[in-house]
Amino acid sequence: MPLSRRWTLTRYLIEERRRFPEASGDLNALILDVSLACKAIARIVAFEDLAEALCPGVPATAGGINVQGEEQKKLDVVSNELFTRMNEWNGHLAGMASEEMDVPWQIPAQYPRGKYLLVFDPLDGSSNLDVNVSVGSIFSILRAPAEVCETGRDVTEADFLQPGATQVAAGYAIYGPTTMLVLTVGNGVVGFTLNPNLGEFVLTHPQITVPADTHEFAINSSNSRFWEPPVKRYVDECLAGKTGPRGKDFNMRWIASMVAEAHRILMRGGVFMYPRDTKDPAKPGRLRLLYEANPMGFIIEQAGGRASTGRQPVLDVAPSALHQRIGLVFGSRHEVERIERYHQEPASRDTGAPLFGERSLFRD
């Protein structure tokens, strides 16, 4: 049955479930609870300057420094609370993990436990709130290990350390001029826009695909002195424009909100790079594998794009820690494949030495 732009999120999930008659419906119900948390966060974000009135009792400096060593804003704490409280009771989850929590969230004893794990970044890009830039929430759904389901024991960090390829569903909400929910359940990518009059997410983007080619790239150029040679080579070639080796002009973007960057790429193509660099040798990347890279990678790949560390598909990475960081490149397939190819070529090609660089005396 073709997708209809009049479908709500509930109708879409019901139609998807009909493809699997043996399905229990737990996944549908869980996604709807996640969407409810996103609706609540959208309202809070829209009235960010009125947050004290909407979230009484939460101090403006709530949270202090999180496990990532980053300052938590008030709405980080509020958003995390909304995600946990709206999903702990439904009986579909064995546990949760969040970028804002040091350890996994255990389902309270008074509630039944289920067969899924929920992993989320409750408010990505929150540092942009004070300048009214779009922010969002990112989530990933995994199956809990069989032992957890059979014994009902508390979840541990190890239970969440699953490669991105095992995700059951992933999505993000973007809180901008309109609130959208972008979702994959492993059958392509669809986008829903929140109708404030109905209070429902309505299907507006039935089949989202990432164009294979692009003339846009996004990277934080202030870190250029720390980039590895393959990344520097790629960016230099793009900046060279029509007269360079690529033979075309590129536009460079940087919003500093990954949800906003990913949304632009899903809507019109592009490539996003937050690669591994030498800025802090103790951190092999900036983005969190479980909360950001894996769900975005799943979404992008389901939309026909590609997501990579530069060296391997990000969905193949075996996590080693709950808050593991990683380098990430995603977007239009041909551009990501080019970046991967540059990483695979001999290092001598990327030395940047004046005599042998792209602008050298020996260039053809």
**What is the C-alpha R_g of the chain?**
21
Which helix (DSSP H) or strand (DSSP E) does residue 307 occupy? strand 306-308
**Pair (60, 137) in one structural domain:** yes
**Pair (185, 239) in one structural domain:** no
Task: Count Cα atoms within 13 angstroms, Cβ side, for 56.
Answer: 1
* Cα dist from 20 to 15, 23, 25, 27, 79, whole Å: 10, 6, 10, 12, 33
Q: What is the DSSP string of 130-192?
A: GGT--EEEEEEEEEPPHHHHHH-PPP-GGGG---GGG-SEEEEEEESSSEEEEEESSS--EEE
Distance CA 309, CA 304 (A): 17
**Pair (187, 123) in one structural domain:** yes
Mean pLDDT of 331-360: 72
At 56, the pLDDT band (50, 70, 90 cuts) reads low
CA nearest to 124, candidates 159, 85, 176: 176
Range in 21-25, 229-233, 240-244 the model is least confident about: 21-25
Last residue of a domain, one of 180, 205, 230: 205
CA 306 vs. chain centroid, Å, equals: 13
323 found inside a domain: yes
Last residue of a domain, one of 145, 173, 205: 205
Higher pLDDT, 256 or 2: 256
Q: What is the DSSP string of 245-269?
A: TT-S--EEE--S-HHHHHHHHHHH-
362 found inside a domain: no
**Pair (279, 322) in one structural domain:** yes
- Residues 262 and 270: beta-carbon distance below 8 Å: no
Domain tally, the chain: 2
**Pair (125, 146) in one structural domain:** yes
pLDDT tens digit sequence for 272-305: 999 999 998 888 889 999 999 999 999 999 999 9
360 found inside a domain: no
211 found inside a domain: no
Domain membership of residue 244 as a residue range? 216-350
CATH number where 265 lies: 3.40.190.80
CA nearest to 100, candidates 128, 119, 127: 119
359 found inside a domain: no
**Pair (227, 330) in one structural domain:** yes
- Residue count of the chain, please give it: 364
**Pair (124, 181) in one structural domain:** yes
CATH number where 120 lies: 3.30.540.10
**Pair (230, 323) in one structural domain:** yes
**Pair (200, 220) in one structural domain:** no
Can you give the pTM of this predicted structure?
0.90
